[in-house]
Structure 1
């Protein structure tokens, strides 16, 4: 779209100042964009005054760099469009009250400060979100309608939706494409091996943070990077799960409907109160095998004869089997048929790849969490976690 010039009413004081060599629009008084007015910012905005009674259209435009909105007070715009090649960075919350459009670039918010967000006030709708254009961090909604958060991580849009009652007292959320066992922006991890008896596994690839005090059903989305086949073979077994803040355990939040397939789709949870759960993600509720297995999921290949390879006790009873092992990004690092014959030999998994996918053969794998899938002819697969220690 065409970049805007400005038509504003300046009721107090603002000025253009030089910040690290770049001019900035600095408001420390009272600025208002009137109805039919329009203002385009091609430079940073610092708001230390009143800038929340706007009508008309506000745009952020920069075709060869980034822009930043900072200050001590939240600016609130009526219609808001974003066209910034190297992204719009928020150091203070920014609101929109009528319509918001993503034209180019993402909106980046600090993930360690959840109150700094792109806020959709009064049920503001948005347009243009995709993998290249979304909120990389936190967004919030206040209103009376169902809402789908345009959130993602890096260049990956992964929306999350809540029902209208959740928005009446503000709901806030973000998406994280990272292992919940080792999150970057939380004080501790969320052990994906600790879950209630109705669950069988929890995703190690991604999670959402949803904040809100009102009960709602939540819709989560997935794509092929979610690696759902490592959790379930069919969507009937898929569940939304949440880390219970008081119990410190993953809890089954249900499956009241799904669309799509294992490579992409959506799942709707049962009703729950978001503030009771620190984060949410995907889990499995199925009991996948009737067999009696004991899985030794710690591998410490140091030559002491203890846990040098990955062992599944009882596997000999199911000789038509295949073991696959994936890293946290869903890349297959190991595969072996008739694994019961080799699991205690040099061909068993001992923290090295065997040349599958993009991992070179005999490459020593880093310490960390991995995911195994045990396939047995005529039965559902067994999946879970294993840990490499050295």
Structure 2
């Protein structure tokens, strides 16, 4: 570039007032390559701001090279675009804040410092990628700034934040999959933040702890091993999570009524049931909303399945944790007393009978109930403690259809 201070514009007037470089249009203009370093005329590989820069109302600025901001660049109006057939980077020590923003960067816009949007943002090409190990570096939607154009190729790969008072859906994803999460109005008055991880929560790449999917509280049956979200915020809200075919929801439930939002509770070090306040869609695509929670109380969120199955007049608790705490110590089927002519069979994953009892309604709260101790024959010796895992139950009831399904034994 021959060591020149290069401006390529349609019409541009630069004025300097009170040590501020003002970009003020006579008409629309575009800066194809704006190289700036303490106002010195020398070749640069980025637009590097050391001082104060401001884009005024009706101004239109296009960055075709990297932006490095070590000065003040957060009082902008007008329009700012990022354009490149390859990739661009925004870096520096200070967060730039723009009014209207377009991202048209074929091989992605990388943020090494947070970047703010105050009015509107459009995804045209490429993702906005933030470092997942630095949660303070995010694409920040300020004052309820909206966006459009997001899809499986265009989203925030990493953390996005919102400050405002309206419902907001985070345009987040991973592995070229848009997987939004939504919070309700007034949940971001103190700023809320979120990222999506297409990772097994047992083996997360960017957290110092793992989230054991075998550790869960009462009224849960199982936890997704395919994905999770990090949603942060200190205000009460319902959180809505989304799924697609890669979420493998059928491995958790056959009926979406049994699906739950679950959260990792760091003090208990287990997953807890955050409810199902409503859902839409089918097993391949849809969304589910939690009950009211404070997101900061949970390290990550994902999908789980309820341990309670409503089957006509029966309420079947499909989690058994015989640890003596008084909760789910035995396999309980509420409402069974009205069907006294019944017989329960429980099998392990290989189809071996491990428990059998006639008139189960009479014993289900006693030592004779299924409590993780084998009562079967042959390969599973009677009286042995059964291993943690999934088992299959069959309930025969005289005069009505048999019930069958899975239960989970935990300790």
Residue matched to 2:353: 314
Residue matched to 1:30: 52
Long gaps (5+) in structure 1: 295-308, 318-342, 345-370
- Which structure would you say has the larger Rg? 2
**8 Å CA contact retained: 2:349, 2:391:** no
C-alpha separation between the residues in 1 aligned to 2:138 and 2:177?
A: 18
C-alpha separation between the residues in 2 aligned to 1:384 and 1:5?
A: 68
Q: TM-score by structure 1 length?
A: 0.74
1:372/1:101 CA distance change after superposition, 3 Å: farther
**8 Å CA contact retained: 1:135, 1:152:** yes
Q: How far is 1:376 from its partner?
A: 7.5
**8 Å CA contact retained: 1:46, 1:69:** yes
C-alpha separation between the residues in 1 aligned to 2:317 and 2:120?
A: 54
SS in 1 for 2:45: strand
Residue matched to 1:211: 232
Q: How far is 1:247 from its partner?
A: 1.4
SS in 2 for 1:221: strand
Residue matched to 2:101: 80
For residues 1-390 of structure 1, the aligned pairs below 5 Å read 11-12=19-20, 15-16=35-36, 23-63=45-85, 65-287=86-308, 311=350, 313-314=352-353, 379=403, 381-382=405-406
SS in 2 for 1:236: helix
Q: Which runs of 4+ in 1 moved over 2 A?
A: 3-17, 286-294, 309-317, 371-386
Q: How many residues are matched?
A: 320
C-alpha separation between the residues in 1 aligned to 2:169 and 2:213?
A: 26
Q: TM-score by structure 2 length?
A: 0.70
SS in 1 for 2:68: strand
Deviations 1:123-153 (A, max 9, x none): 0000000000000000000011010000000
Q: How far is 1:385 from its partner?
A: 10
**8 Å CA contact retained: 2:230, 2:301:** yes
Residue matched to 2:384: none
Long gaps (5+) in structure 2: 1-7, 22-33, 38-42, 310-315, 322-347, 357-378, 381-388, 396-401
1:145/1:290 CA distance change after superposition, 3 Å: closer
**8 Å CA contact retained: 2:228, 2:300:** yes
C-alpha separation between the residues in 2 aligned to 1:238 and 1:257?
A: 10
Q: How far is 1:260 from its partner?
A: 0.6
